[in-house]
């Protein structure tokens, strides 16, 4: 299998060697958290059990009841932390062993509960992201730190603080009340969206993207969608991820260099993902007012349906960005609207959208990059703006592309 094919398989949700035990993390955590009443301690114990599985199962084979195996090992780790004498240890170990054969917890509600617990509204995204990747994704602290280019100690501290904050709230391991569920789902969508974006377009580092990280976001989004299939924004989020990830095989050249959307070989796009994404995007619409992820999925669908960059329906994309701008009031959305305006109404109109945007975006490299792109379309000097963008870019592949553009622009 080629590297590109491997990335497509991961994005589509195909199993990889670590997935069999990582996918079980929410189910095992649910058992321990309910049994102990301590989410933080249970999560630590589950992580230790997952590490034991990663070490043991490849050599000895996957147990007949992997959930029971993980529950037993995690229970022992939890018991090691809390017991005060050997007699108590014997009782707890006996209880854990006796439950092993019959541990068959339902996956759906438990998965949703774990995700929503990790995305508690008392947590910031910076805290919720690593906690979600550990508790639901089964990633180790070291893997999460590497994914976000953070020191392992910093990542561990964020996870510890997140668990402490959940404990402070007195939250129980149950679904939130019905009146608070929609807001918590929105938080979960936001966290998974941030994880996906960092995987698809890394903010820093030597590579343009982290396929493993965006694939993990897709896996978690599939889990969330399975647990809440009627929620249009959850459906829209999954559709957005699939429609965007479908373009990954054409997004880099042979040496890993960035290939912009206008220059991509669309025959390399993953059309199975596009088909699934389009179905989900259609399914997400028609449920009242359009939400953020429904709008983003609709924009991604229009890009994926176009036979070429030139034939893209920029007028409809522009209309969707206007809707999205009203929903989010996000300056990055305005930046994208400027590009769509430039394609639909001409570069001068797109440049007009950028007027005053620096007040909100500051000296962001993408503001300079979009201005350079629109100046180039208008036949005006753009090299200086490309140089400014390159000087401020923190991803090496993106910086290399902007340097190349600056060298070729006038």
Q: Is the pLDDT of residue 110 over 50?
A: yes
Q: Is the pLDDT of residue 16 over 60?
A: no
pLDDT, tens digit, for every residue of 158-198? 999 999 999 999 888 888 888 888 889 999 999 999 999 99
């993990």: which residue's tokens?
A: 216
Sequence-distant (≥ 6) Cβ neighbours of residue 303 within 8 angstroms: 243, 247, 261, 312, 317
CB 92 within 8 A of CB 79: yes
144-153, 234-243, 302-311, 312-321: the lowest-pLDDT one: 144-153
Q: Is the pLDDT of residue 9 over 90?
A: no
Say how far apart CA 344 and CA 338 lie, in whole Å: 10
At 314 the pLDDT is: 98
At 136 the pLDDT is: 87
Q: Is the pLDDT of residue 397 over 60?
A: yes
3-state SS class at 307: coil
According to DSSP, residue 264 is labeled -
CB 117 within 8 A of CB 39: yes
Say how far apart CA 105 and CA 49 lie, in whole Å: 17
Q: Work out the pLDDT band at 18, boundaries 50, 70, 90.
A: very low
pLDDT, tens digit, for every residue of 215-268? 999 999 999 999 899 999 999 999 999 999 999 999 999 999 999 999 999 999
At 303 the pLDDT is: 98
At 98 the pLDDT is: 42
Q: Is the pLDDT of residue 286 over 90?
A: no
Phi (first) and psi of residue 226, to 5 degrees? -65, -35
Higher pLDDT, 338 or 24: 338
3-state SS class at 357: coil
At 83 the pLDDT is: 57
3-state SS class at 252: strand
Say how far apart CA 242 and CA 341 lie, in whole Å: 25
Q: Is the pLDDT of residue 3 over 50?
A: no
At 27 the pLDDT is: 86
CB 226 within 8 A of CB 108: yes
Q: Is the pLDDT of residue 271 over 90?
A: yes
pLDDT, tens digit, for every residue of 56-83? 888 888 888 898 899 999 888 888 776 5
What Å distances lie between residue 22 and 13, 73, 168, 281, CA to CA? 13, 15, 27, 28
Domain ranges of the chain: 1-228, 229-312, 334-410
Of 70, 59, 74, nearest to 23 (Cα)? Answer: 70
Q: Work out the pLDDT band at 1, boundaries 50, 70, 90.
A: very low
The pLDDT mean for the chain works out to 87
| 56-62 long-range contacts, CB within 8 A, separation 24+ | 57/20, 57/21, 58/17, 62/20
Q: Work out the pLDDT band at 378, boundaries 50, 70, 90.
A: very high
At 54 the pLDDT is: 85
């960005």: which residue's tokens?
A: 321
Return the structure tokens found at 29. 């955590």
């Amino acid at each position: 299998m080629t590297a590109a094919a491997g990335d497509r398989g991961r994005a589509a949700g195909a199993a990889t060697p670590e997935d069999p035990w990582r996918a079980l993390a929410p189910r095992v955590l649910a058992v321990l958290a309910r049994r102990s009443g301590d989410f933080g301690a249970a999560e630590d114990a589950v992580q230790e059990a997952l590490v034991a599985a990663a070490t043991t199962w490849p050599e000895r084979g996957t147990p007949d009841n992997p959930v029971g195996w993980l529950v037993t090992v995690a229970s022992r780790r939890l018991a090691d932390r809390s017991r005060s004498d050997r007699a108590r240890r014997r009782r707890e170990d006996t209880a854990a062993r006796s439950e092993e054969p019959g541990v068959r917890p339902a996956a759906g509600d438990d998965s949703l509960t774990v995700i929503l617990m990790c995305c508690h509204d008392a947590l910031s995204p910076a805290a919720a992201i690593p906690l979600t990747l550990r508790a639901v994704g089964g990633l180790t602290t070291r893997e999460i730190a590497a994914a976000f280019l953070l020191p392992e100690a910093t990542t561990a501290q964020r996870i510890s603080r997140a668990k402490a904050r959940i404990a402070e709230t007195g939250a129980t391991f149950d679904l939130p009340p019905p009146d608070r569920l929609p807001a918590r789902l929105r938080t979960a969508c936001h966290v998974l969206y941030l994880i996906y974006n960092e995987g698809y377009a890394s903010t820093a580092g030597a590579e343009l993207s982290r396929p493993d990280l965006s694939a993990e976001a897709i896996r978690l989004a599939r889990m969330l969608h399975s647990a809440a299939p009627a929620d249009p924004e959850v459906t829209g989020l999954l559709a957005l991820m699939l429609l965007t990830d479908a373009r990954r095989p054409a997004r880099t050249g042979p040496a890993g260099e960035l290939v912009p959307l206008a220059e991509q070989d669309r025959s390399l796009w993953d059309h199975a993902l596009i088909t699934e994404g389009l179905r989900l995007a259609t399914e997400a619409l028609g449920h009242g007012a359009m939400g953020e992820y429904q709008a983003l999925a609709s924009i991604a669908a229009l890009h994926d349906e176009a036979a070429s960059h030139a034939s893209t329906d920029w007028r409809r994309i522009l209309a969707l960005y206007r809707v999205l701008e009203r929903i989010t009031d996000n300056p990055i959305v305005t930046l994208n609207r400027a590009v769509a305006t430039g394609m639909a109404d001409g570069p001068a109109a797109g440049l007009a959208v950028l007027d005053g945007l620096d007040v909100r975006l500051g000296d962001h490299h993408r503001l300079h990059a979009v201005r350079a792109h629109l100046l180039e379309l208008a036949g005006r000097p753009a090299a200086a703006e490309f140089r400014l963008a390159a000087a401020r870019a923190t991803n090496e592949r993106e910086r290399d592309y902007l340097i190349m553009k600056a060298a070729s622009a006038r």
